[in-house]
Structure 1
């Protein structure tokens, strides 16, 4: 049986850099732009209360995601990516679950993210795991889809 494991890794590792490169190339082609980086820089996740997560299937890197601070109470999910051959297998959900776990550990109350209109699968994933639409919070591209999820520490739900 295959096991997906998502965990924090160095954003500058060979696997992390390769996943980021693949995502940037895919977005550049999809949106017909020269830079698919979406304003992400490795330094974004080399600061306190940030992380870069790599998902592995039986040890092989199949996806990634980043968590970077927006302010004291909110962080942004960036660089969500699953290699095309591994989509619809729970990779994205595993990455989001780990990013949410880390966000709670870091003391964030909410997470935000933005995605483009040519990524309907991403929109479906985010909505399926509890993210709701909000107004754009960064950039000036009017077509962006912005989302938020409010995080509730597990201790609050205990009797």
Structure 2
């Protein structure tokens, strides 16, 4: 049986978003003996060119991810999470695909992310979908695995419209 996963930008402060963030923070906190927030605040994605994405199966929230601006050209993927009973069903891929689509729409050239060594499944997913290892770009914890994915070059939508109208 195949499931249909939808992933769309939603309000980071909605009940579903907050519950997913809480679950992820609890899991990471237990895994790494920390508060599990990885320095993320909801206000990080309440700025221009940022987003919080919720994945759903038949309307039920099953995962999330966020885009937090780093620079004019680069954005960070944060809060990637899939509820345990929904793993290996394409949820992570759907979230990443939507985050990458939004990053391109926002005009970014690359996405960066960091994960920990106790999350080999996450690292394997990132590598499978085209992310490559880079040096740590944020924080001082030396156990971080950092990744980047470059977006294909494309014209900004306004430039494209101008070209078509000539």
User: TM-score w.r.t. structure 1 length?
Assistant: 0.95
**Structure 1: tracts of 5 or more residues without a match:** none
Distance 1:59 1:154, change over 3 A: farther
Secondary structure, counterpart of 1:77 in structure 2: strand
1:2, CA displacement in angstroms?
A: 2.4
- C-alpha separation between the residues in 1 aligned to 2:63 and 2:126? 16
Secondary structure, counterpart of 2:108 in structure 1: coil
- C-alpha separation between the residues in 1 aligned to 2:92 and 2:57? 12
Distance 1:86 1:154, change over 3 A: farther
Secondary structure, counterpart of 2:22 in structure 1: helix
Between Structure 1 and Structure 2, whose CA radius of gyration is higher? 2
The alignment status of 1:49 with 2:52, answered yes or no, reads no
- C-alpha separation between the residues in 2 aligned to 1:5 and 1:31? 30
- The alignment of Structure 1 onto Structure 2 pairs a total of residues equal to 154
Residue number in structure 2 paired with 1:103: 103
What is the RMSD computed on CA atoms of the aligned residues? 1.0
Residue number in structure 2 paired with 1:21: 22
Report 1:45-84 matches (<5 A): 45-84=45-84
Report if the CA contact (8 A) 2:3-2:89 is conserved. Answer: no
- C-alpha separation between the residues in 2 aligned to 1:154 and 1:146? 25
Residue number in structure 1 paired with 2:6: 5
User: TM-score w.r.t. structure 2 length?
Assistant: 0.91
**Structure 2: tracts of 5 or more residues without a match:** 156-166
- C-alpha separation between the residues in 2 aligned to 1:127 and 1:154? 23
